[in-house]
Amino acid sequence: MTTAPSHWWRRWVAVIAVALVAAGFAIAFRISLAAVDGALGGDSVVAMITAAPIWERIALPAAGGLLVGLVLLVAARVREGAGVGFVIEAIVLGRVRVPLTRSVLQALASWLAIASGNSLGREGPLIQFGAAAGEGARRVLALDNITARIVLATGVAAGFASAYNAPVAAVLFVVEIVTGVVVLEAIVPMLVAVVIATIATRYAVGGAPLYGLRAFALESPAELVAFAGLGLCAAPVGVGFLRLLGLVGRLWRKLPVPWRPAAGGLLCGAILAALPLVAGNGFEPLDALLDGKLAVATVIWLVVAKPIATALAVGSGNPGGVFTPTLLLGGCTGTLYAIVLHAVLGDAIGSPSSYALVGLAAALSATTHAPLTSAVLACELSGDYALLLPLLVATALAAAWARRLYVDSVYTAELSRRGLRWRLTLDGRRVIESQQDTVDVV
| Same domain as 230, residue 188 | no
C-alpha 65/C-alpha 106 separation (Å) is 13
In a domain, 114, yes or no: yes
Q: What is the mean pLDDT of residues 8-12?
A: 79
pLDDT digits (tens, 9 = 90+) for 243-275: 999 888 888 877 777 788 999 999 999 999 999
Which has more pLDDT, 419 or 436?
419
What pLDDT was estimated at residue 80? 61
C-alpha 433/C-alpha 212 separation (Å) is 43
Residue that terminates a domain, selected from 150, 173, 205: 205
What pLDDT was estimated at residue 232? 95
What pLDDT was estimated at residue 402? 93
Q: Is 177 left (phi over 0), alpha (psi -120 to 50) or beta?
A: alpha
What pLDDT was estimated at residue 1? 40
Q: What does the mean pLDDT of the chain come to?
A: 83
In a domain, 216, yes or no: no
**Worst-scoring range by mean pLDDT, 36-40, 226-230, 274-278, 357-361?**
36-40
| Same domain as 56, residue 126 | yes
Phi (first) and psi of residue 400, to 5 degrees: -65, -45
Specify the 3-state DSSP secondary structure of 412. helix
Q: What is the mean pLDDT of residues 86-94?
A: 71
Instruction: Give every strand in the sheet of 420-424, ordered side by side.
Output: 420-424, 430-434, 438-441
pLDDT digits (tens, 9 = 90+) for 208-222: 776 666 777 777 788
| Same domain as 251, residue 162 | no
What pLDDT was estimated at residue 334? 95
Sort strands 420-424 and 438-441 into parallel, antiparallel or unpaired.
Answer: unpaired
In a domain, 210, yes or no: no
Q: In terms of residue numbers, what domain contains 404?
A: 223-417
What pLDDT was estimated at residue 432? 54
| Same domain as 12, residue 44 | yes
| Same domain as 169, residue 318 | no
What pLDDT was estimated at residue 82? 64
| Same domain as 119, residue 268 | no
In a domain, 423, yes or no: no
What pLDDT was estimated at residue 78? 66
Residues 6+ apart with CB under 8 A from 20: 196, 197, 200
- Closest by CA position to 153, among listed 121, 175, 137: 175
- Closest by CA position to 174, among listed 192, 188, 187, 185: 187
DSSP 247-272: HHHHHHTTSPTTHHHHHHHHHHHHHH
pLDDT digits (tens, 9 = 90+) for 97-154: 777 778 888 888 889 999 888 988 877 788 888 888 888 888 888 888 888 888 888 9
Which has more pLDDT, 300 or 206?
300
C-alpha 350/C-alpha 328 separation (Å) is 20
What pLDDT was estimated at residue 144? 82
In a domain, 54, yes or no: yes
Say yes or no to pLDDT of 317 above 70. yes
- Under the banding of pLDDT at 50, 70 and 90, the label for residue 439 is very low
| Same domain as 144, residue 239 | no
- Under the banding of pLDDT at 50, 70 and 90, the label for residue 436 is very low
- Under the banding of pLDDT at 50, 70 and 90, the label for residue 302 is very high
- Under the banding of pLDDT at 50, 70 and 90, the label for residue 441 is very low
| Same domain as 201, residue 234 | no
In contact, 167 and 161? CB cutoff 8 Å: yes
- Under the banding of pLDDT at 50, 70 and 90, the label for residue 422 is low
What is the number of structural domains in the chain? 2
| Same domain as 51, residue 158 | yes
CATH number for position 189: 1.10.3080.10
In a domain, 90, yes or no: yes
In a domain, 439, yes or no: no
* Cis, peptide link before residue 258, omega less than 30° from 0: yes
| Same domain as 174, residue 270 | no
In a domain, 356, yes or no: yes
pLDDT digits (tens, 9 = 90+) for 386-398: 889 999 999 999 9
Say yes or no to pLDDT of 437 above 50. no
Which has more pLDDT, 93 or 53?
53
User: Nearest 5 degrees, angle CA 393-CA 394-CA 398?
Assistant: 120
| Same domain as 234, residue 149 | no
Polymer length in residues for the chain: 442
In contact, 321 and 120? CB cutoff 8 Å: yes
pTM of the predicted structure, to 2 decimals: 0.89
Say yes or no to pLDDT of 365 above 90. yes
| Same domain as 228, residue 186 | no
